[in-house]
Amino acid sequence: MSYNDLINIDDFSKKKETFNTERWDVSFYCKDCKKIVDVDRPNTKWYTFICKECNWKNIAIWTEEGLKTNYRIK
């Protein structure tokens, strides 16, 4: 469940009421690949995203800037 991933990001608790992946310009970070990846969303009703690189769903969703800060992506 990707909501847990979102809650783990510090700033998210302030913003989760308005979180909307359709409206936001967000990026997807795969915790297994350890980088920002493209994802599939098999069901638009679920916050489940599948990494296209490893086909697993260990995905965090946030703005690209926020992901780079939180996961220290270079």
Of the pair 23, 74, the CB lying nearest Zn ion is at: 74
> Per-residue x/- marks for Zn ion, 1-40, CB under 5 A?
-----------------------------x-xx-------
Q: Which parts of 35-74 interact with Zn ion (CB under 5 A)?
A: 51, 53-54
Under 8 Å CB-to-CB from 41, ≥6 apart: which residues?
A: 48, 49, 50
* Gap between the Cα atoms of 17 and 39, Å rounded: 23
As separate numbers, helices (DSSP H) first and strands (DSSP E) second, the chain gives 3, 5
Where do contacts with Zn ion occur on this chain (CB under 5 A)? Answer: 30, 32-33, 51, 53-54
